[in-house]
Structure 1
Amino acid sequence: MSQAPEDFRGLVLARFNYKESDLLVKMLTDHFGKRMFLFRRARKPGFKMTAAVLPFTLSNFTGRINAPGLSYVQAVRGSHAFTKISADLTLNAYSSYILALIDMAFDEDTPIPEWFRFAEQALTLIDQGTDPQIVTNIAEIQLLPAFGVGPNWRGCSVCGRNDLPLDFSDKYGGLLCSDHWQLDERRYHASERAIYYLRLFSHVDIATVGKVAVSEQTRRELRTMIDRMYDGLVGVQPKAKRFLDELNGAGSHIQALKPRKPKNSPSDFSE
């Protein structure tokens, strides 16, 4: 238990009504992982921290971090609302899904500063107009290891070669080269283009994501492949994903990407 006040940054993940007028707010913090905070009388008119605990809001707080148990905020030192996400149903759906995946992937109170930074950057990109499908795709692929699934993206899972056509295999937990496709009749039969993008998703730095322009066919193929990975290898699906699928309809898809040199410049993704 931490008795002394702590300064931290927090991103709102979820809110729950509590008792007559209180509010429980689950936040992803920069140093302490996911924490549940109790805000007393937060549902009463005139509550001074209302803006800081709205969905899709990132704030600087001072408060008491308790483990186990509820934590408490004593002061807010500035907030940033992702206003475009809040105002747009589609952006809202993609962002909610990304945050829900991060929430499901990690235990409470586990420090995950790298995923706090990822979430902040992801929402910033979406709020600034970067294609939300691309940001979501990167999150889905890079979160696989957190769910206990670590696909081999380097080369063939049997022989290690990466100079032959590659496909993805659930059975072998990663890529198979054309010399070994006969080992898995249920391999994905993916296009070379889709495999290229999936391998890129696995390691691209989200902070470098730039422009996106990819064919509709590739987008649909990637969406289908990633859905199959999560259904077959992960086995969990947040409610936010089901809503996103309903919003996009049967033709739900993800755009793809391609990096631009030099390395220190933002990556433009195009096909």
Structure 2
Amino acid sequence: MYETCEAIVMRTVDYGETNKIVTLFTREWGKVAAMARGAKKPSSRLSAVTQPLCYGRYVVRRSRGVGVLQQGELIDSMRMLREDLFAAAYAAYLVELTDKGTEEQKSNPHLFALLLQTLRYMSEGRDAEILTFIYEMKMLSVLGVPPLLDRCARCGATVGRFSFSIKEAGFLCHRCEAADPHRLPLSPASVRLLRLFSRFDLSRLGAVSVKASTRAELKAVLSAYYEEYTGLTLKTKRFLAQIDELRDKLGPSGGQGEPFSL
């Protein structure tokens, strides 16, 4: 039986001379794979709707393995995400993170909405790096390893100066920081943003800038935490690191998009 779904194209794999196996992240069923027959042909009606990052409505016959994609209708091609090198790198990373961090055919409408909103903001030219930080923070709850951010991981203090401890999986206050000589220093701005990113409603995104030093602290915490607790190895993460180096060479405006506010 064929069913209609709303989906983002996560990835495609060529199959034979003319076909593709398309992995869709759907609002209704979670992640599903489907055969798109003839989709490699430029003249195929499935060619345009099976490009990575496309968002649309699809008619699929599901199965326990690979289903069949019968037709699709584009809602948003996310064209800018494929044409801008920086945006494409961040978008590819978020899609791979979602792919590796979710199970087949396990519905998560909230995560679907979060990914779609994040990709759309990136497509509009919003700050891709900050959007990635927000998504990474929220994805930690999906992965089942959220850090402790509302208090000190050792004594429970809610006020004071804080650093981040990978060992303790959360904040350490200034009174307990000696417990982890490898703790990561944080400015008050980084403490506030980490807390905010974990619970922030992305649909309320507005416009403010984040200093380079704060970005560096956020990146250090998230990179180290993901490496320690998620067990995920992502090809796009390495490419993103190379893109970040290129952006830094281009200066403050390189690949950072529009400022935002919370």
TM over 0.5: yes
Amino acid at match of 1:52: V
Deviation per residue, 1:27-46 (Å, 9 max, x gap): 10011111111011222342
After alignment, is 109-118 or 186-195 more displaced?
186-195
1:268 is aligned to 2:261? yes
User: Number of paired residues?
Assistant: 255
Aligned to 1:249: 245
- Percent of aligned positions with the same letter in both sequences? 28
The SS at the match of 2:158 is coil
1:115 is aligned to 2:111? yes
Q: Which structure 2 residues correspond to residues 41-52 of structure 1 after superposition, within 5 A? A: 41-52=38-49
1:88 is aligned to 2:81? no
**Which residue of 34, 59, 62 corresponds with 2:59?**
62
How far 1:73 sits from its partner (Å)?
Answer: 2.3
TM-score by length of 2: 0.90
Deviation per residue, 1:130-180 (Å, 9 max, x gap): 100111001111111233312111111223221121221122221122221
CA distance in 1, matches of 2:166, 2:218: 15
After alignment, is 142-151 or 95-104 more displaced?
142-151
**Which residue of 9, 15, 20 corresponds with 1:18?**
15
The SS at the match of 1:76 is strand
After alignment, is 138-147 or 7-16 more displaced?
138-147
After alignment, is 182-191 or 89-98 more displaced?
182-191
How far 1:203 sits from its partner (Å)?
Answer: 1.0
1:138 is aligned to 2:134? yes
How far 1:250 sits from its partner (Å)?
Answer: 8.2
After alignment, is 118-127 or 73-82 more displaced?
73-82
CA distance in 2, matches of 1:196, 1:123: 24
Distance 1:88 1:78, change over 3 A: closer
Gaps of 5+ in 1: 259-266
Runs of 4+ in 1 over 3 A off after TM superposition: 250-255
- Does the CA contact (< 8 Å) of 1:51 and 1:79 recur in 2? no
Deviation per residue, 1:27-69 (Å, 9 max, x gap): 1001111111101122234211211111121011222122x11
The SS at the match of 1:38 is strand
Amino acid at match of 2:10: L
The SS at the match of 1:179 is coil
Aligned to 1:160: 156
TM-score by length of 1: 0.87
How far 1:8 sits from its partner (Å)?
Answer: 0.7
How far 1:107 sits from its partner (Å)?
Answer: 1.1
CA distance in 2, matches of 1:154, 1:221: 18
Distance 1:131 1:45, change over 3 A: closer
CA distance in 2, matches of 1:251, 1:185: 32
Aligned to 1:261: none
CA distance in 2, matches of 1:251, 1:169: 28
**Which residue of 8, 32, 35 corresponds with 1:35?**
32
Amino acid at match of 2:34: F
1:183 is aligned to 2:179? yes
CA distance in 2, matches of 1:171, 1:198: 17
After alignment, is 244-253 or 53-62 more displaced?
244-253
State the superposition RMSD in angstroms.
Answer: 2.1
- Does the CA contact (< 8 Å) of 1:130 and 1:211 recur in 2? no
Amino acid at match of 2:55: L
Amino acid at match of 1:56: L
Aligned to 2:189: 193
1:211 is aligned to 2:204? no
Amino acid at match of 1:218: T
CA distance in 2, matches of 1:237, 1:208: 31
Aligned to 1:240: 236
